[in-house]
Amino acid sequence: MTLEDLVRLRRARDLMDREYAEPLDVAALARVALMSPGHFSRSFRAAFGETPYSYLMTRRIERAKALLRRGDLSVTEVCLAVGCTSLGSFSSRFTELVGESPSSYRARRHDQGAAIPACVAKILTRPVRNREAQSAAPPVA
């Protein structure tokens, strides 16, 4: 992979970071990266370790967690605010990445992280896929 390819992939990833609530698909992202959809998907995964869809959903779930912590929006409103169109898919993905349902996450207290700077909180609250969490966990003796 060339440096130019990485720059174009980063441009598409930055678009996902900025426009996570917009209806983005692989074809649109591939156009931003000036690649075919298939080549873009393979290159994105090779460069960043996950598929474009997985990366986008992680961004959406990160933002959803922040909105749910505020507590002033319903789960459905949060789902739509982060760009998801199916409450069922959103809830399933949220539960997969966070380990609890959006309703449970919204209902519990979140004031223990209130004093943490936002840049640190973003790292600490980043959703982790169950497979990643299992591989990062220390072995059980």
User: How many distinct structural domains can be found in the chain?
Assistant: 2
122 and 64 together in one domain = yes
Closest residue by Cα to residue 74 from 88, 63, 60, 64: 64
Q: Which residues contact 101 (CB under 8 A, 6 or more apart)?
A: 91, 94, 95
79 and 119 together in one domain = yes
Domain extent, residue 103, equals 57-129
Q: Which of 39-43, 49-53, 92-96, 135-139 has the lowest mean pLDDT?
A: 135-139
pTM exceeds cut of 0.75:
yes
Instruction: Give me the sign of the Cα torsion angle 57, 63, 69, 71.
Output: negative
82 and 114 together in one domain = yes
Cβ-based burial of 61 (10 A; exposed 0-12, middle 13-18, buried ≥19): buried
138 pLDDT more than 70: no
Q: With bands split at pLDDT 50, 70 and 90, how would you rate the model's confidence at 122?
A: low
Domain at 88, CATH number: 1.10.10.60
DSSP output for 62-74: HHHHHHHHH-SS-
40 and 73 together in one domain = no
Cβ density class 19-55: b for 16+ within 10 Å, e for less: ebeeebebeebbebbebebeebbebbeeeeeeebebb
The reply to whether 36 falls in a domain is yes
Average the pLDDT over 17-39 and give the result.
95
Q: Which of 33-37, 105-109, 127-131 has the lowest mean pLDDT?
A: 127-131
The reply to whether 136 falls in a domain is no
pLDDT of residue 137: 52
